Structure 1
Amino acid sequence: MQGWKLFKHALRMVIGNWREVLRIFFVPMILGIVVFFAFLFGVTFLLGEGVLPVFAFAAILAYVTVASWCIVSWHRFVLLEERPTKWLPPFDFSAVVFYFLRGFGLGLIFFVLAMPLLLVVVPSLEAFGAFASIIVAIAVLVGVSVFCMRLSLVLPAVAVDEPMTMRESFAATKQATLPFAGLVVTYGALQAGLNMMSEYFADTENLLGMLATFVGLILFGLINISLLTTFYGHYVEGRAID
């Protein structure tokens, strides 16, 4: 129940502040997409395919930087009430850099924990059948996801200039293990349904359905960001989520 409340609160946060969502995300993300493809295809066209790996990395780095810029601005809007007044939110270089580094660190932790378990534990259960392997794989992913979610408060903390360690984040969410597990299962089921819809509409070339699915994917991305904001507001600042 608590996990569902967290999800609903994040959803209401996005829908209720759709004007601010546009101001914070629209123009920077368009710029990020343009820069991404300019690096990836424009430079490659001018200099040849030999430089593709280098500029592909540069393109990804540029896009991730823009995304971090937008996410930091969103956290600050919700938690510090820094309402955007222009179509380009303020760019805090240090906050964006540290946000990116913290996010990279969390992603690395997830990979280091999940991959060995999936590559070692799951194959060892093949003798018990495919169903057992699937169940254990899901359990591993849910467990590692919950662990990383308990560490994730470091991200909005950086954005609002109140840095905290992963140990402090883990301690602040000591009552959140079960809610986070429920949230991971709920979110995963909804995401799987959305992916199935995306594949179906792509196969049938239903443009309206593909557009609706694309909007749904964007909404889920925004909800994911807002969940981090909700975690910090609820577990650190004690804000209500009802």
Structure 2
Amino acid sequence: MKGWSIFSHSVSMVLRNFQAAIQIFLVPTLLVFAVVFAVVYAVFQSGIIPVGQAVNMPLGSVSTGFLLQMAAVWVVVMLISIWGVVAWHRYVLLEEMPEGWIPRLHTSNILIYFLRAVQLAIVSVISLIAVAFIGSAFAEAAGYFGVAILIVLFIAVALFLSRLLVILPAAAVGRAISLSDALEATKGAVPALFLLGVCVFLAQLVVELALSAVAGIPVFSLVLQLGFAVILSLLNVSIMTTLYGHYVEGRPV
């Protein structure tokens, strides 16, 4: 039941430190919303993407310069988001208390965290492409049995990638951990990670059911959707913190 213990510990972490979470994440979150709103407003005002055609507009009709600008905006948004995430990891793991409403800016940790996240993204894409290629061959050759194999392979990859997540909190606290180090530290953690994944899935399912129940109330449902999105994001960050604290530092859960 260690997977449940990790999940409940992470939920408790959020609830027990909710005021600190607000202090750490409020300003970065507002900045992210402000950047996204400003960019979307500027794009539609400039006429680059006409209002009403954003969804159906073919990618080939968008200039390379515009795509590069959007990539730059994405990097800025990621760095601002990571600013808060790093502060949260350090608050929990190093007891670095927030002072005021602006989190401490650990520039080097934020940049390393971003690069490690990119590294994980690359590993994820390569792994998923390989599984999709192998699994689709099984699915075509063996029908439903092949589909079952494909599902098992995707679960196996998800568990493999989950074991690598501890490199991110490590970057936040200034500790260098390689991918092989992460796999060594999480050896034997697959059953717990599987149960943890089930718990996270069920939590997200409950959120989706709650949102669907109030879908007919526009303003309230939007506020609730944003609130749940923030809470689930904080929960996921806390889960990564717990995984690092338990499997790398040996803390109890």
Contact 1:113 1:144 in 2 (8 A): yes
Residue 167 of structure 1 is matched in structure 2 by: 180
Whole-angstrom CA distance in 1 between matches of 2:7 and 2:99: 28
Structure 1 runs (4+) greater than 6 angstroms displaced: none
Following superposition, the deviation at residue 80 of structure 1 comes to 0.4
| SS of residue matched to 2:10 | helix
**Are residues 37 and 57 of structure 1, via their aligned partners in 2, closer, same or farther at CA, if it must alter by over 3 Å?**
farther
Following superposition, the deviation at residue 44 of structure 1 comes to 6.2
Written as runs of structure 1 = structure 2, the 5 A alignment for 1:150-189 is 150-189=163-202
Q: State the TM-score, normalized to the length of structure 1.
A: 0.88
Residue 56 of structure 2 is matched in structure 1 by: none
Which of 204, 208, 211 is matched with 1:191 structurally? 204
Residue-by-residue CA offset, 1:41-72 (whole Å, 9 max, x unaligned)? 32663584555323322221111011111110
In the alignment, structure 1 residue 145 sits paired with structure 2 residue 158:
yes
Give the gaps of 5 or more residues in structure 2.
50-62
Give the gaps of 5 or more residues in structure 1.
none
Contact 2:89 2:169 in 1 (8 A): yes
Whole-angstrom CA distance in 2 between matches of 1:197 and 1:124: 37
Residue 31 of structure 1 is matched in structure 2 by: 31
Written as runs of structure 1 = structure 2, the 5 A alignment for 1:197-208 is 197-199=210-212, 201-202=214-215, 204-205=216-217, 207-208=219-220
Bigger shift: residues 94-103 or 139-148: 139-148
Counterpart AA for 1:214: L
Contact 2:139 2:145 in 1 (8 A): no
| SS of residue matched to 2:246 | helix
Following superposition, the deviation at residue 104 of structure 1 comes to 1.3
Contact 1:99 1:159 in 2 (8 A): yes
In the alignment, structure 1 residue 83 sits paired with structure 2 residue 97:
yes
Larger helix fraction of residues: 1
**Are residues 130 and 37 of structure 1, via their aligned partners in 2, closer, same or farther at CA, if it must alter by over 3 Å?**
farther
| SS of residue matched to 1:216 | helix
Q: State the TM-score, normalized to the length of structure 2.
A: 0.84
Alignment: residue pair count: 239
Whole-angstrom CA distance in 2 between matches of 1:16 and 1:138: 37
Counterpart AA for 1:187: V
What is the alpha-carbon root mean square deviation over aligned residues?
2.4
Which of 71, 74, 79 is matched with 1:65 structurally? 79
Written as runs of structure 1 = structure 2, the 5 A alignment for 1:80-159 is 80-122=94-136, 124-126=138-140, 129=143, 133=147, 135-159=148-172
Whole-angstrom CA distance in 2 between matches of 1:138 and 1:184: 15
Contact 1:32 1:66 in 2 (8 A): yes
Contact 1:151 1:170 in 2 (8 A): yes
